[in-house]
């Protein structure tokens, strides 16, 4: 299920198009982590982790230990590609057009 660009790890994992690559790929993705045994006061947290197609896991550093095993009480529940930074030149040109500057 895709919700607001977040993709559930139950539905799809990052970099599936590189899955058959013998060397694998490892890059940063934005993830939502949530307690494995949540209570009503728990909120998810957002962080940047690495995902490796060779190890099939999220980790703090490239080729590192599986995040879900290192943090026994937290799990990755969703991910999304890291958004590209805003191109300020394009933004400024759009602003000038809208404001008639």
Per-residue confidence (pLDDT) for residue 99, from 0 to 100? 84
Give the chain's domain count.
1
Is pLDDT above 80 for 85? no
Secondary structure element (H or E) that encloses residue 97, with its range = helix 88-99
Can you give the residue range of the structural domain that contains 82? Answer: 2-99
- Between CA 20 and CA 99 the distance in angstroms is 50
68-77 tens-digit pLDDT? 899 889 999 9
pTM of the model: 0.74
CB neighbours (10 Å) of residue 100?
5
- Model confidence at 89, pLDDT cuts 50, 70, 90, reads confident
Of 44-48, 56-60, 89-93, the range with the lowest mean pLDDT is 89-93
């Amino acid at each position: 299920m895709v919700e607001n660009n977040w993709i559930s790890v139950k539905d799809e994992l990052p970099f599936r198009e590189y899955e058959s690559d013998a060397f694998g790929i490892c890059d940063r993705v934005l993830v939502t982590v949530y307690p494995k045994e949540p209570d009503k006061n728990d909120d998810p947290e957002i962080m940047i982790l690495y995902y490796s197609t060779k190890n099939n896991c999220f980790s703090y550093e490239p080729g590192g230990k599986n995040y879900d095993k290192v943090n026994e009480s937290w799990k990755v529940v969703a991910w999304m590609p890291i958004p590209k930074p805003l191109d300020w030149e394009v933004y400024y040109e759009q602003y000038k057009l809208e404001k008639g500057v």
